[in-house]
Structure 1
Amino acid sequence: MTTMLEIEKIATSYGSSQVLFGVDLHVRQGEVATLLGRNGAGKTTTLRSILGLAPAHGGKISFMGKRIEHMSTDKIARMGIAIVPEGRQIFPNLSVRENLVAFAANRNLSKTPWMLADIYQLFPRLAERADNMGNQLSGGEQQMLAIGRALMTNPHLLILDEATEGLSPLIREEIWTCLKKLRAQGQTILVIDKYVEKLIPLADHHSIIERGKLVWHGDSDRLSQSADIWQKYVGV
């Protein structure tokens, strides 16, 4: 299985304050990987380093076999990385349809790219709300729209940053079901979330970060048998 994203010993700082200390992470094509940890552990900074928003000053980041740690964010995105950001960040003054169409691209050169009809089939609620403005949607509907918008770019790698944060249990289940469908379709996914019990059956392997350092890595079988580990580093 080809490694799509490979992070080696990255170090990232904000000014004089170092946040990441030699973090490693890899995501292979067609798999679901997770990055776990408490708030402030360094998860979002790792994502920002991948996307060029907080450039690493040490280590290597490779995507699709190319070094990207010194690339601009727009070039990295055009290579086929799409993020569903924490806070959703949809356009409030555009309709659901406009939010989706505005991001349409075929960055992975798929023969069957995601189209509006596919997004509406994945999230029927968005079809019902197609003409509503972004600021007229519930939090759950906004999250569905954020995922749909990312898929409309037809990414090689889909990253979800706290995709179920603040959502009702019912909506969270819809998101998990969506991710299972995407996995079955072969979409490569990196998930940052805190619901370990839901991620164990979904993901292939997991990395846990604490105070900017990788403290554990393993597959779902190992994590399911290591409740003490994830309760120590991820539990509230």
Structure 2
Amino acid sequence: MSALLQVEKIDTAYGASQVLFGIDLEIHSGQTATLLGRNGMGKTTTVRSILGLTPARAGSIRFRGNAINSWTADRIARLGIAVVPEGRQIFPNLSVKENLIAFACNRSNSPGPWTLERIYQLFPRLKERARNMGNELSGGEQQMLAIGRALMTNPHLLILDEATEGLAPLIREEIWTCLGQLRDLGQTTLVIDKYVQRLIELADQHTIIERGQVVWSGPSGTLRESPEIWQRYVGV
């Protein structure tokens, strides 16, 4: 079975400073996958390379069978990749409802697409705050809105960069519950976060990077049975 996303041996740099060294990553349709590692190890740069924001200088990136290395970021997005960025980056001067409908489309041609009402069912709090401006929301509400906004594009692949960073424990659990529901619905998702034990229960496949290189990749079962792996590369 061919992968939905296939990243092979990519090198990425900012000017003269190389950050990624031969990164490999593969995600199949319907999988929930993670990209793990300590801060500053290249996780966000990997995502930026996939999205065309910081193009890889070497290697190959294929999505839905297309070689997208040289594509612009907007063209890649239209192919069906949506990102919940670190810091959320919602529109502060638009209401919750306006944030959600601003880029509504059906990029995956889903027969049962995400709509405003479905997002409100997933996150009832957003329905309660529908008329509030983005800058009037709590951090947790902003993260829900960022996830809802990405889902409104009905993507083939949803990427969450630092999925629960800075959120209170109860809100983190609400986000994990949401991601579990998306997994059960068959949404292909790549999650970047630091809560490995929670991610082991949620995801199918994991990739750990250290200093811009893949140091381990495998399924949840193996990672669960080998805590020394993630404690070495992800633990504080």
TM range (shorter): over 0.9
* Number of the residue aligned with 1:164: 164
In structure 2, distance between residues paired with 1:78 and 1:16 = 31
Structure 2 counterparts to residues 80-229 of structure 1, below 5 A: 80-229=80-229
* Number of the residue aligned with 1:14: 14
In structure 1, distance between residues paired with 2:167 and 2:201 = 20
Letter in 1 for 2:15: G
| SS of residue paired to 1:11 | strand
CA RMSD of the aligned region, Å?
0.5
| SS of residue paired to 1:3 | coil
Letter in 2 for 1:213: Q
Describe the superposition over 1:66-108 as per-residue Cα deviations: whole angstroms up to 9, x where unpaired.
0001100000000000000000000000000000000101000
In structure 2, distance between residues paired with 1:206 and 1:65 = 22
Unpaired runs of at least 5, structure 2: none
In structure 2, distance between residues paired with 1:103 and 1:196 = 32
* Number of the residue aligned with 2:53: 53
Letter in 1 for 2:16: S
In structure 2, distance between residues paired with 1:180 and 1:130 = 24
| SS of residue paired to 2:200 | helix
| SS of residue paired to 2:207 | strand
Describe the superposition over 1:112-160 as per-residue Cα deviations: whole angstroms up to 9, x where unpaired.
1100000000000000000000000000000000000000000000000
Q: Percent identical across equivalent pairs? A: 71
Letter in 1 for 2:28: R
Structure 2 counterparts to residues 18-97 of structure 1, below 5 A: 18-97=18-97
Report the number of matched residues: 236
| SS of residue paired to 2:4 | strand
Describe the superposition over 1:11-50 as per-residue Cα deviations: whole angstroms up to 9, x where unpaired.
0000011000000000000010000000000000000000
* Number of the residue aligned with 1:5: 5
Q: What TM-score do you get using the length of structure 2 for normalisation? A: 0.99
Runs of 4+ aligned structure 1 residues displaced above 6 Å come to none
- The CA deviation at 1:2 is 3.8
| SS of residue paired to 1:113 | coil
Letter in 1 for 2:118: D
In structure 1, distance between residues paired with 2:149 and 2:52 = 20
In structure 2, distance between residues paired with 1:225 and 1:213 = 23
- The CA deviation at 1:171 is 0.2
Letter in 2 for 1:156: H
Unpaired runs of at least 5, structure 1: none
